[in-house]
Amino acid sequence: MCRNIRPLFNFQPPATDEEIRDAALQFVRKISGFQRPSQANAELFETTVEAVADAARALVFGLETAAPPKDRLVEAARRRARNAARFG
């Protein structure tokens, strides 16, 4: 369920707003237990997703490091290799 929650800091190119929002959405889904909220909870659900995305964006773009940025394509290849080894 949390497939979109992965490290977003220190990548070249930097994390996009869509990636940050996807991670926030997965986080809110996980802690609320709702894949899709009811109409009664939809507004609060979306407001919470945006608040979490804003906090994540502030964190990702506010952190500092001396390490060189990681390459997105290399990291994606590593994830695919781990999945292939794990699931065949």
Name which of 61, 48, 54 is nearest 13 in CA terms: 61
Q: Which amino acid is at 75?
A: E
pTM: 0.82
Per-residue confidence band for 3, with pLDDT thresholds at 50, 70 and 90: low
Show Cβ contacts of residue 37 under 8 Å, excluding neighbours closer than 6 positions.
44, 45
Cβ contact 23:11 at 8 Å: no
Cα separation, 17 vs 20, in Å, equals: 5
What's the pLDDT tens digit per position in 16-54? 999 999 999 999 999 999 999 999 999 999 999 999 999
Cβ contact 53:20 at 8 Å: yes
